[in-house]
């Protein structure tokens, strides 16, 4: 059985998702890359990347690893929340 998530845990999850997307976008700018550029270097299609940016909870670990490599950011850095 899984317990339903509390409102505060759902809000925290959304904040984490927004944080990940924000860091991806910052790294895109730093690397001078668009989503279409990133897609050229990955097995992830551009349409899938756009969808993941809209719904970051759908990123797979493998996809995040690939993104981190291309965008020159560690997984830890990508996933950690700012205090």
pLDDT in tens, 27-67: 999 999 999 999 998 888 999 999 999 999 999 999 999 99
| % of the chain beyond a pLDDT of 70 | 93
DSSP assignments along the chain, one per residue: --PPPPHHHHHHHHHHHHHHHHHHHHHHHHHT--HHHHHHTSSS-HHHHHHHHHSGGG--HHHHHHHHHHHT--HHHHHPPP-
pLDDT of residue 44: 87
Work out the mean pLDDT of the chain and round it to a whole number.
90
Q: Report pTM.
A: 0.83
């Amino acid at each position: 059985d899984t317990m339903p998530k509390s409102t505060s845990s759902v809000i925290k999850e959304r904040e984490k998702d927004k944080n990940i997307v924000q860091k991806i976008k910052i790294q895109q700018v730093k690397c001078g890359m668009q989503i279409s550029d990133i897609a050229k270097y990955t097995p992830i299609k551009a349409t899938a990347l756009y969808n993941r940016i809209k719904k970051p909870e759908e990123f797979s670990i493998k996809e995040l690893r690939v993104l981190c490599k291309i965008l020159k950011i560690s997984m830890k850095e990508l996933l950690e929340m700012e205090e």
